[in-house]
Amino acid sequence: MTRVAVIGAGSIGANIAYRLAARGAEVTVVDAGKPGNGTSAASISWLSTFPQIAGSVPAMVAHRRRTNDGFRRLAGEIGDGWIHWTGTLTWADLPRTAARLRQDFAAMTAMGEPLRELDAGAVRAAEPGLDPPPDTPVYLEEDGGWVDAPAMVAALLRGAGWHGATVLQDAPVLAVKADGDRHVVRTPEGEVTADVVVNAAGSWASHVGALAGAPVPLDLRPGLVVWSRPLATPIGRVINSTTLNIRPDPDGGVAVHWRGEDTYTAHGYNAETPAQVIEAAAEVIPELRGTAPARSAVGVRPVPPGGPVVGWHPSRPGLYVAVSHGGIGWGPTWGDLAAAAILDGDTSPAAEAFTPRRFLR
Ligand SMILES: Cc1cc2nc3c(=O)[nH]c(=O)nc-3n(C[C@H](O)[C@H](O)[C@H](O)COP(=O)(O)OP(=O)(O)OC[C@H]3O[C@@H](n4cnc5c(N)ncnc54)[C@H](O)[C@@H]3O)c2cc1C
- Give 245-286 pLDDT, tens digit per residue: 999 999 999 999 988 655 444 445 566 889 999 999 999 999
Which H or E run contains 248? strand 244-248
> Of ligand 1's atoms, which has the minimum distance to the CA of residue 222?
53
* 87-96, 192-201, 268-277 — most confident range: 192-201
What's the CA gap between 235 and 86, in Å, rounded? 10
pLDDT band at residue 53 under the 50/70/90 scheme: low
- The answer to whether residue 87 scores a pLDDT higher than 90 is yes
- The reported pLDDT for the residue numbered 290 is 97
- The reported pLDDT for the residue numbered 351 is 79
Q: How far is the CA of 235 from the centre of ligand 1 (A)?
A: 25
- The reported pLDDT for the residue numbered 264 is 46
Mean per-residue pLDDT of the chain: 92
Closest of 276, 279, 283, 286 to residue 231, by C-alpha: 286
Domains within the chain, CATH numbers bracketed = 3-40+150-218+305-358 (3.50.50.60), 63-145+220-303 (3.30.9.10)
- The reported pLDDT for the residue numbered 266 is 44
- The answer to whether residue 130 scores a pLDDT higher than 70 is yes
pLDDT band at residue 96 under the 50/70/90 scheme: confident
- Cβ < 6 A, ligand 1 pocket: 7-13, 30-33, 37-40, 42-46, 172-173, 200-204, 208, 223, 225, 257, 299, 301-302, 323, 325-329
First-to-final CA distance of the chain: 30
> Of ligand 1's atoms, which has the minimum distance to the CA of residue 324?
19
Choosing from 301, 309, 310, 354 the residue with most ligand 1 atoms within 8 A of its CB, the one to mutate for a pocket test is 301
- The reported pLDDT for the residue numbered 60 is 78
- Give 211-243 pLDDT, tens digit per residue: 999 999 999 988 899 999 999 999 999 999 988
Quick count: other Cβ atoms within 10 Å of Cβ 348?
Answer: 11
- Give 285-295 pLDDT, tens digit per residue: 999 999 999 99
- Give 334-357 pLDDT, tens digit per residue: 999 999 999 999 988 877 889 988
Q: What are phi and psi of 97, to 5 degrees?
A: -100, -10
